Chains A and B, each alone.
Chain A
Amino acid sequence: MTSISRDEVAHLAHLARLDLGAEELDHYASQLDVILQAVARISEVTADDIPAMSHPVPMTNVFREDVVTASLNRADVLSMAPAVEDDRFKVPRILDEE
């Protein structure tokens, strides 16, 4: 049956920039394993004549017209940011892991 390795969990944690310790990796690996096994039961009842479904409602072509609507007030927007400089969001240095 499906099982997710500790290494795979560590890789996903890195991609999501989550800093997980050794105990946490074991903890989440076993939890995720249970979830994956539960979901895997669905594949027991699928057959080749049932296409994979991504959207529960069979709709297509839902569009909006190309019309400009009001944007948010900048002061309100920047008040949500942890740090601001020069009317921009200030974020930590990037690619520092290289």
Chain B
Amino acid sequence: MSQTTYVPFEQALKVYEPVFGLETHVELGTKSKMWCGCSTDFGADANTQVCPVCLGLPGSMPVVNRVAVESTIRIGLALNCSIATWCRFARKNYFYPDMPKDYQISQYDEPLCFDGYLDVTVETPEGPQVVRVEIERVHMEEDTGKLTHAGGATGRIHGADYSLVDYNRAGIPLIEIVTKPVSGTGALAPAVARAYVSELRDVMRALGVSDVRMEEGSLRCDVNLSLNRPGEQWGTRSETKNVNSLRSVERAVRSEIERQASVLDLGDRVIQETRHFHEDTGRSTSGRSKEQAEDYRYFPEPDLVPVAPSDAWVEQLRSTMPEMPSVKRARLQAEWNINEFELASLVNAGALDLVEASIAAGVDSVAARKWWTGELLRVANDTGVELADLQVSPGQIREIEELIALGALNDKLARQVFEGIIHGEGDVASVIAARGLAVVSDDTALLAAIDQALSAQPDVADKIRSGKVQAAGAIVGAVMKSTKGQADAAKVRILLLERLGVSE
């Protein structure tokens, strides 16, 4: 299909300036749906969480979920928005089988929250730079059913013979967060877009309003982008959908800058259209041309009365606001006395909250960072799970650290204790007992192991006796091996040198 030769990113930016905007959809983590009491649990059997309301059966009537409204107001407050004193829902009419009503209940020109901003930090060669992304609106709507396209070669929408619909997702509370156009970021545009979505995700997590798992679709992103020459009017924008990971946000912005530059360089016009991003190629393909907004024939939803948050209600919700992620990061960086780089590695590993909780549980701050960004992160990466999903508690880290301090465990044994805990072998004490992981501190047993190692390597023994103390490492290593790591290496070394009558 597309044989486009893309203009390289750096070259594109010498000629054009990008302007982008992001529309982010967040599925709220309410127990029940937006207008009915059906469960929102992810992964249920198809069409088992549906009722007359979310199936759009005649005569059914929606009623707004109070918690969904409260979560939206809290999101608006977190994004420094004004909260509407009165607003309505609207019907967005369209003909597509993902909505059995043939309309989606959304908000049109009266969003619940509007005119806010989110400050994000991006890394530049000159150091971290803060960019303010302005928020146009935050509005409430409902998610749609999930379509599986069958019969086509690719499983994608084009070429499908028919589609299968699961309405479990239809009616789950969905929040749309729309930025104002972001201009003037130049080559930083891809990084700013990514940092914005990442920061937004952290804000949602801090608020506890959504699990914001991009891979499960509870946070989805559309990228609007246009290019213009310096000093000229903004260009025609495209909208790229299906951008479903932080990495894809960055790649989609970059790719679209390259694509539009190649179109403009040829003297062609950018078409206002919807494009679909493909994770595998990092490129997008043209989708349906964008219907004009008036084609949706929005009108006020007659089945739902307006929402009119009182000042008292908003203030009560404001009092439930947690510490925002950016504030928390700055506080912890100061408390732990770490640099920007160390902070970034903790944030990127998803370890910040875990380290904080461990310190609160009584673990030394250096040890807490060491375990979470060292051994535990390695295990999480190897097994492909999030750090937070490893079944290791701050209390268990404290127990292990206490045993290390007492000399009953060393770091190597501690790693095995963590492995046992992660494999579900029980708590710290039972893993140590079941695996026999106590440090061998019995001198007689250690001396026997040392003698055995010396007789196995008589040449090394002679070297040490002749004063080459650095050769002791080979014997210590052999002892550690024969005791399966359950000895204190420093102690073995002392005993060994005593045995041979050598001093350091």
Contacts and interface: CB of A to CB of B under 8 A. Distances in A.
Interface of A: 15-17, 54-55, 57, 59-72, 74, 77-78, 85-95, 98
Interface in B22-78: 30-32, 36-39, 45-52, 55, 63-69
Given A61-B307, A61-B308, A64-B63, A92 B162 contact: yes
Contact of B164 (A15, A71, A89, A95): A89
Nearest to B37: A69
Contacts of B49: 71
B38 A69 contact: yes
B324 interface: no
Interface string B116-143: 0000000000000000000000000000
B160 A68 contact: no
Nearest to B167: A89
Interface in B284-338: 288, 295, 297, 299-300, 302, 304-309
A93 B93 CA distance: 20
A62 B458 CA distance: 87
Contact of B38 (A54, A68, A85, A89): A68
B64 A15 contact: no
Contacts of A94: 96-97, 147, 149, 157, 160, 163
A54 B157 contact: no
Contacts of A77: 47, 50, 55
Contacts of A64: 37, 63-66
A71 B38 contact: yes
Given A15-B95, A61-B305, A93 B161 contact: yes
Nearest to B64: A63
Contacts of A15: 93-95, 295, 297
A30 B150 CA distance: 42
B309 to A, nearest CB: 8
Interface string B93-114: 1111100000000000000000
17 contacts: A54-B299, A60-B305, A60-B307, A60-B308, A62-B305, A63-B66, A64-B66, A65-B67, A66-B66, A66-B67, A70-B37, A88-B164, A92-B163, A93-B160, A94-B96, A94-B97, A95-B157
Contacts of A16: 95
B68 A66 contact: yes
Contacts of A88: 46-47, 148, 164-166
Contacts of A71: 38-39, 48-51
The prevalent SS among residues of B at the interface is: loop
Given A66-B65, A88-B47, A90-B164, 12 more contacts: A15-B297, A54-B302, A60-B306, A62-B304, A63-B64, A64-B66, A66-B32, A69-B38, A85-B164, A90-B162, A91-B164, A93-B151
Given A66-B66, A68-B39, A94-B97, A55 B164 contact: no
Secondary structure call for the A interface: loop
B428 to A, nearest CB: 37
Nearest to B146: A88
A89 B167 CA distance: 9
B1 to A, nearest CB: 13
A18 B294 CA distance: 18
A91 B97 CA distance: 7
A68 B162 contact: no
Contacts of B158: 95
B259 interface: no
B237 interface: no
B88 interface: yes
Contacts of A90: 162-165
Contacts of B46: 86-88
A20 to B, nearest CB: 15
Given A54-B88, A55-B306, A64-B63, A91 B68 contact: no
A85 to B, nearest CB: 6
B165 A89 contact: yes
